[in-house]
Structure 1
Amino acid sequence: MDIMVDNLQGYGVIELLQAHLVDMYATSPPESVHTLDIEALKHPTITFLCAKQAGVVLGCVALKELTATHGEIKSMRTASAARNQGVACALLSHLFDMAQSRGYRQLSLETGSMVFFDPARRLYLRHGFNYCGPFSDYQPDPNSLFMTRLIESINL
């Protein structure tokens, strides 16, 4: 599996992100959907990563710089056919290395509070994230849960 910065132009990546958006709007009220569309993911503060094997997109994740020491995980998604094969763990490991190299001290994320998001929350808990309050521009929302992890303690 190869993980690399992606330009968000390939069909496989676009298809994966469109499926992600559809799922988010199907499981959360519109005002609680914080998923970024493809154009928003092209913002200069965001680095988008894609995992591929033999040219097939297996998953993706984005790293948004909130401050010089704080990053946010966005758009974490594994393709349906690649689930439970270590793609998400590999993406997180790559993301942690990138965050460390940038000098970030903390990574945070927002995810849904519904049962649909249980697998994602379990993944983040296994990788040392803890629940926290809203960060950055987020507001309290019963449909959202917030998680964070200090970079110094990242050791997969």
Structure 2
Amino acid sequence: MRDGLTITEDDLAGDDIRDLVALHLSGMHAESPACKVNALPLDKLRQPGVTFYAARVDGEVAAMGAIKHLSATNGELKSMRAAPNWRGRGVGEAMLVHLLSVARERGYTRVSLETGRTEAFAPAVTLYKKHGFVECAAFGDYVVDDFSQCLSLAL
């Protein structure tokens, strides 16, 4: 992370953040079987119960992430992605820390997510595990199998 980083709730109206969402969706379709793409498109990121955040460094979009309300005690992380020129520079971790702070402020006792098991997802899984996430049973409509895994963190 570096000076000038801000993370704020975002309405997904700007072309720069819309481009990052499109890149994320494209990447998920390229790296996942069609039936396993659980990334949210713009309209779903704007639904009630989903709060979307953008991380910017000196005004440039560096990362994105969202938290979905599942229940009074549970939230789900969605759409975590660092912009290509910001990968490996700590902005994804800053977004994760921010989303976990939001979850704690909401009173959640658990945050979960679904992600892939392949090499393309390894950097994200490593980040989640660094922050205490562990594999868990499937939740919601997800299925744990040779491609998908669910991770959870007790807060």
1:15 equivalenced with 2:19 (yes/no) = yes
1:45 equivalenced with 2:39 (yes/no) = no
Q: Given the two structures, how large is their TM-score scaled by the length of structure 1?
A: 0.94
Residue 61 of structure 1 aligns with which residue?
Answer: 65
C-alpha distance in 1 between matches for 2:16 and 2:84: 12
1:135 equivalenced with 2:130 (yes/no) = no
The alpha-carbon deviation at position 140 of structure 1 amounts to: 3.1
C-alpha distance in 2 between matches for 1:58 and 1:115: 22
**Residue type of the partner of 2:61?**
V
Q: How does 1:83-122 map to 2 (within 5 A)?
A: 83-122=87-126
Residue 34 of structure 1 aligns with which residue?
Answer: 38
| Structure 1 consecutive aligned stretches of length 4 or more whose deviation exceeds 6 Å | none
C-alpha distance in 1 between matches for 2:88 and 2:144: 31
Task: Say if 1:27 and 1:116, in contact at 8 Å, map to a contact too.
Answer: yes
Task: Say if 2:73 and 2:108, in contact at 8 Å, map to a contact too.
Answer: yes
SS of 2:70's equivalent in the other structure is strand
For residues 9-32 of structure 1, give each alpha carbon's deviation from its aligned partner in whole angstroms, at most 9, with x where no partner exists.
111111111011111111111101
C-alpha distance in 1 between matches for 2:146 and 2:74: 24
Q: Given the two structures, how large is their TM-score scaled by the length of structure 2?
A: 0.95
Structure 2 gap ranges (5+): none
C-alpha distance in 2 between matches for 1:82 and 1:139: 31
SS of 1:19's equivalent in the other structure is helix
Task: Say if 1:32 and 1:141, in contact at 8 Å, map to a contact too.
Answer: no
**Residue type of the partner of 2:42?**
I
C-alpha distance in 1 between matches for 2:6 and 2:117: 31
Residue 126 of structure 1 aligns with which residue?
Answer: 130
Task: Say if 2:67 and 2:77, in contact at 8 Å, map to a contact too.
Answer: yes
Structure 1 gap ranges (5+): 152-156
C-alpha distance in 2 between matches for 1:142 and 1:42: 31
For residues 128-151 of structure 1, give each alpha carbon's deviation from its aligned partner in whole angstroms, at most 9, with x where no partner exists.
000111112212332211100011
Residue 82 of structure 1 aligns with which residue?
Answer: 86
